[in-house]
A and B are shown apart, each in its own frame.
Chain A
């Protein structure tokens, strides 16, 4: 069974601080996605990382895929209250099944 563990589960920090959240697995994934989910809404895709070691930037968000394609991190620089939300990582295995496996998420709260 493939599992994705996200840490921390909850994070509350002051506006302007930097933070990193992690997504770890013992399984290898073909790609890994990061989503953001607001209460009562569907997950919104932020990024897909495919190559081991790949780094993608989305404004103040930096996503990295581990070299072994088993883990990923999301780093936010100078967090703002608008970054508050639930961040989900999800892994996909090509040619095995067509589903993505979600982690439980990191609930981030940025205090003004």
Chain B
């Protein structure tokens, strides 16, 4: 069964460093999403992406965040200068029905020291 994959599974970085989180959505899906989940808290929406542009973003998704679909298969989330409070699980999701049914990846656990 097709699934969303994410790499790396874990990332440890120093505060102020740039990180890139990678996702390979399900191949025929057109809508892509990033969410994050701080430990013990609920899953929060960051950004949605369709047709090579951002369609919606939350207040969390500030200028330090960017997304890109560099080729036909990858979808990346970049954090330019990480902060301690960026430590969280980051989930990628994809959908073929404009988001009504979203399939999540296993997540990348980011720890900012």
Contacts and interface: CB of A to CB of B under 8 A. Distances in A.
Given A42-B91, A43-B91, A99 B45 contact: yes
B25 interface: no
Contacts of A43: 43, 91, 104
A99 B91 contact: no
A45 interface: yes
A45 B103 contact: yes
Contact of A98 (B91, B98, B105, B106): B98
Contacts of B100: 30-31, 48, 50, 92, 94
Interface of B: 4, 6, 31, 33, 35, 41-45, 48, 50, 55-56, 58, 89, 91, 98-107, 109
Nearest to A95: B98
A102 interface: yes
Contacts, number: 65
Given A97-B56, A99-B45, A105-B42, A42 B104 contact: yes
Nearest to B41: A104
B43 A102 contact: yes
A35 B107 CA distance: 15
Contact of B104 (A31, A45, A104): A45
Given A40-B109, A42-B91, A100 B102 contact: yes
Nearest to B55: A98
Nearest to A33: B101
Tier of interface size on chain A:
20 to 34
Interface of A: 30-31, 33, 35, 40-45, 48, 50, 88, 90, 92, 94, 97-105
A42 B3 CA distance: 11
A97 B43 contact: no
B28 to A, nearest CB: 16
A61 B4 CA distance: 25
A38 to B, nearest CB: 10
